[in-house]
Amino acid sequence: MNLVSIIVPVYNGERFLRDLLNSILAQSHSSWECICVNDSSTDNSLAILEEYTARDSRFKCFTKPNGGTGDSRNFGLDAATGDFIMFADQDDLLHPDAMKLALDVQLKTGADVVQFNRCAFAQSPNWSFINEKELFKRVKPLCPPLQSYLTTGALVIYVWQYLYKKEVLEKIRFPKLTGGEDSPFIFDVANQTSNWVLLPFTLYGFRENLSSVSRSIPLWYINNGFTACKIIYQHGKQYQCDEELLTMRTTHDAFYFALSIALRHGRGRKGMENLVVVSEELVNALKIGFVSLKHLCLWQRVFTKMLIKKHYFFPRIAAYTLGYLVAFIRAISAKKFRH
């Protein structure tokens, strides 16, 4: 059978790690290896991984010096022996037929990459019914992939939403980042491939955490988000992409990343520090050229100029408003759950 290597970077993931590993064990396609890369976790993650490697030889555990998610995925790619590659994050879940259905489509179409849908969940994913008789009728080509990445937004930036032919990834690796490492990787894959198909069924569940709105983030995470946009811009110029389309894409990616940081992490003293870093990164992006104000609509330009000029009053008001709104929604949800 066709061997699928699924790569799981692990760092202090003890809370939900077993759930993911159990969802891999439950796959209807049995020919797989799970490359678990322990990035020097300080919790009980390594013990959990050793428990599963002792339980099933298809689990393979490697421990490396801490280097971040991108570095761990690269380690996994180097260690993988399968014909196909998938990725999963330590707190997510796979549909029981994820490997089987993606592989069925790949073998039928000969696609370099099979893209499938995802769903967010808090407790357990709401997997939709999949009628396998309709499977191939629903498959759609996404070509050319690079043009789709730049223009339509049809290519998602999450690496765990795909099955890849391993040979396609031979010369492609992740930037050594944690946060933002997915998008340059997908961009490089899109440049390398010509046969990319969409399987419009939900095969991957990612765990959603509303509390992340108020969760503190390190400043390097903000730097990494803008670095990812810069890498795409630099690679796009190497690939001789249309300059306007390339800059439009990187501008919007950088803007919505900045907006997300401002709204979700712009409160309190730490929030002010975050906004200062966003301002500095936007100024640098404008100088390099991967952000251009002409590609933003009026309200986006106004918001960006406020950040560039360090006028933080309205961004912080928006951040506090969002925080109160999320707290209200969580309170209502908790009340409904109790009843």
Digit-coded pLDDT (tens) for 144-201:
899 999 998 778 889 999 999 999 999 999 999 888 999 999 999 999 999 999 999 9
pLDDT exceeds 80 at position 233: yes
Contact criterion met (CB below 8 Å) for 27 and 55: no
What is residue 46's predicted lDDT score, i.e. its pLDDT? Answer: 98
What is residue 212's predicted lDDT score, i.e. its pLDDT? Answer: 41
**What is the Cα–Cα distance from 114 to 59, expressed in whole angstroms?**
24
Strand-pair category, 113-121 with 4-10? unpaired
User: Domain for residue 337, yes or no?
Assistant: no
The structure tokens listed for 270 are 């730490």
pLDDT tens per residue across span 57-68: 999 999 999 999
Residues 225 and 196 in one domain: no
Contact criterion met (CB below 8 Å) for 274 and 219: yes
Residues 102 and 250 in one domain: no
End-to-end, the C-alpha distance of the chain in Å comes to 49
What is residue 234's predicted lDDT score, i.e. its pLDDT? Answer: 97
What's the domain range around 255?
A: 211-332
The CATH number of whichever domain residue 104 belongs to comes to: 3.90.550.10
pLDDT exceeds 50 at position 214: no
What is residue 213's predicted lDDT score, i.e. its pLDDT? Answer: 38
Residues 85 and 160 in one domain: yes
pLDDT exceeds 70 at position 326: no
Residues 218 and 161 in one domain: no
Residues 155 and 80 in one domain: yes
Residues 235 and 193 in one domain: no
User: Domain for residue 339, yes or no?
Assistant: no
User: Domain for residue 338, yes or no?
Assistant: no
Residues 186 and 92 in one domain: yes
What is residue 323's predicted lDDT score, i.e. its pLDDT? Answer: 66
Q: Helix, strand, coil: what percent of the chain each, to 5? A: 55, 15, 30
What is residue 330's predicted lDDT score, i.e. its pLDDT? Answer: 57
What is residue 215's predicted lDDT score, i.e. its pLDDT? Answer: 55
- Name the domain count of the chain: 2
What is residue 331's predicted lDDT score, i.e. its pLDDT? Answer: 62
